[in-house]
Structure 1
């Protein structure tokens, strides 16, 4: 089932977390996001064959005690055709490389309120590879998947299309979020555009209001960039 903008209306998420408190926290973030998910939960330490994977659109795995157990699960999920989104409070270059080498569809920074988790799960369920913008330069320069990079959908998964409100964005608002999606901070985006940081913050606020999202990450996920820095289908 799709929402009006072509996104999965309520993707089915399998949340694999060992710690009960983390499971409750992440589950609440997925259910209460701007695009809420249908959530199933499982103890991540259970063998993968015991995970309830029937009709699951995406698996969200919390990385709590090293990447190795999660990487093994990611490989098993990939073999079953289930994309995996890894969530951790701290990432290193080695961990990111290992996660994507194992077949992860996305790596996300866990925030104190779980902002953007539901939107990220929806993007991965719709067939995108995802990396939190702040992770683009973790551990030094090197090839990195861009935030919300499109991949061809398989198995009948819906394409992650942009909702109509994107057409209301101004040229400058699109430029600002193109820079944020490329990993620049607010100050760096302001410097690039030769405007004050307060001006960039104002553009960000306007975009969040127009798109009906609550965080920069959610907005970035909705703005799939063409090579010229504009969302596809604009201009």
Structure 2
């Protein structure tokens, strides 16, 4: 089945370029285009895409606010794609629950790969921001704060999966390492996020980076 994508960007030329790239890639169906954050929310609620490709700086509340709403409502995965790799945007997007953060200079092939990964439940970060993200969340009071009771509620297998998330492994890689199916990995990840009060696997990975591997 094709991955359904909603493109949200206030520049018509950018939207047209993204749509052209995605439709040529195969396996991806662009189900709609939004010009601002508010429209992105309403269209996503109606169209139920697998992934929203979300710009940050848009009218109508912007991409960060729209991401927070869509993630809280569990409407879809959000992959932020922006021209700006400013730290404030990166951290705000991840705190809002975005599954990934990429820069618009990314190659078309890499963008398509990222969309497939996010649709499968994985997370992606632009290489140029990854180290800064880890350093920021490990060294400030804005670090990801897990539900303390949630850590104690994790099963041994969920702890194994959480450690793998901390290494940045994809669902496929986790399944291979732990000798389980990708569907089982997805189920474990969902349970982990719910128990820890987190919004995305990227936040889970940051948590492990901050606090180290989970205790047995």
TM-score above 0.5, yes or no: yes
Q: Which runs of 5 or more residues in structure 2 are unaligned?
A: 139-165, 175-184, 191-216
Give the Cα separation in 1 of the matches to 2:68 and 2:38.
Answer: 15
In the TM superposition, 1:189-228 aligns within 5 A as none
Judging changes above 3 Å, is the alpha-carbon distance between structure 1 residues 115 and 147 closer, same or farther for their aligned structure 2 residues?
Answer: farther
Contact 2:10–2:36 (CA under 8 A) maintained in structure 1: yes
CA apart distance, 1:102: 0.6
Give the Cα separation in 1 of the matches to 2:71 and 2:10.
Answer: 20
Alpha-carbon RMSD: 3.1
2:34 aligned to which of 31, 34, 42: 42
2:68 alignment partner in structure 1: 75
More helix by share: 2
Find the residue that maps to 1:124 and give its secondary structure. helix
Give the Cα separation in 1 of the matches to 2:8 and 2:167.
Answer: 25
Q: In the alignment, is residue 134 of structure 1 matched against residue 134 of structure 2?
A: no
Deviations 1:47-88 (A, max 9, x none): 45531443411111122459x621110011112321100001
Deviations 1:180-228 (A, max 9, x none): xxxxxxxxxxxxxxxxxxxxxxxxxxxxxxxxxxxxxxxxxxxxxxxxx
Give the Cα separation in 1 of the matches to 2:41 and 2:57.
Answer: 21
CA apart distance, 1:149: 4.7
Q: Which runs of 5 or more residues in structure 1 are unaligned?
A: 2-9, 158-235
1:153 alignment partner in structure 2: 186
Find the residue that maps to 1:56 and give its secondary structure. coil
Give the Cα separation in 1 of the matches to 2:100 and 2:129.
Answer: 11
Judging changes above 3 Å, is the alpha-carbon distance between structure 1 residues 127 and 26 closer, same or farther for their aligned structure 2 residues?
Answer: same
Q: TM-score, normalised by structure 2?
A: 0.56
